[in-house]
Structure 1
Amino acid sequence: MTSIRAFALRDTESVIALWQATGLTRSWNNPHLDIQRKLTVQPELFLVAVDGEDVVGSVMGGYDGHRGWIYYLASSPQRRGQGIARDLVAAVEDLLLEMGCPKVQLMVRPGNEDVLGFYDRLGYERFDTTTTGKRLIAD
């Protein structure tokens, strides 16, 4: 039986292992630093799904006053199809709504298009946009 709760420091290595197992980590991002940074900004929007002591899912949310964002949504590959990611999305959406967030978005990297059907079923609509970015700090 899974439950969703706020991330705790003891979850760090399990969450990073989950991100690695699901292909969410990138060579240019340090997941330990990503976690440290999240814990200083809206840590209440960092959730994990657990089954007993085992971390089986994660999600990070953010809200800038204009729109919310979902990051690092992952569920254990061995537990796919059990509703873990759906429950995590619903939980972070509820928290964002409580903050007054009117809209939530997320990005899907090229090569991860298999998840688009999942987001379609949750009511997310696809946009044709170009995303740009600039690194301010080297990890």
Structure 2
Amino acid sequence: MAALAIAPVEDADIAAVIALWQRCNLTRPWNDPAADIALARRGPNATVLAGRVGDAIMATAMVGHDGHRGWVYYVATDPDHRGKGFGRAIMKAAEDWLRETGIAKLQLMVRRENVSAGAFYQSIGYAESQTIVFARWLDGREPTP
């Protein structure tokens, strides 16, 4: 198995990262992935990590924190290369990034219908929280499930 070289994304990576997210069914019509990347890269509290084998991006994770809790979004592994440990490696890199900033707790959200993602997170030591997440659009849109 080839090891992932993991580093923050660069401008030249953005199209490939978005394409991977689309292949992994992570994007939604109400979220602009390019804007999400730009926002994460804007300040010191977030980044987007990419794991590469050679020039190919095999895994990603958007990681950030609010000063108290860390969050991970857009965790993706190339569907043609799953089962090679890339998901574990990118999650370890996200956890390490948060640890280095002094954040002790990582949270993430998984859509209920994404049973395989839930099983993956459980396999690497995550437990389902009993917290309910509420959401509200601040731009006037109706709530989405």
Q: Which band: TM-score by shorter chain?
A: over 0.9
Contact map agreement 2:41 2:47 (CA 8 A) in 1: no
- Superposed counterparts of 1:39-78, under 5 Å: 39-42=41-44, 45-78=47-80
Segments of structure 1 that go 5 or more residues without pairing to the other structure are none
Which residue identity does 2:134 align to in structure 1? T
Percent identical pairs in the alignment equals 38
Specify which structure has the bigger relative contact order, considering alpha-carbon pairs within 8 angstroms and separated by 6 or more residues: 1
TM-score, normalization by structure 1: 0.92
Find the partner of 2:85 among 80, 83, 87. Answer: 83
TM-score, normalization by structure 2: 0.89
Find the partner of 2:5 among 3, 6, 12. Answer: 3
Distance in 2 between residues matched to 1:95 and 1:130, nearest whole Å = 26
| TM superposition shift of 1:129 | 2.5
Find the partner of 1:32 among 21, 29, 34. Answer: 34
Segments of structure 2 that go 5 or more residues without pairing to the other structure are 141-145
Corresponding residue SS for 1:39: helix
Contact map agreement 1:69 1:106 (CA 8 A) in 2: yes
Q: CA RMSD in A?
A: 1.7
Aligned length: 139
**Residue aligning to 2:17:** 15
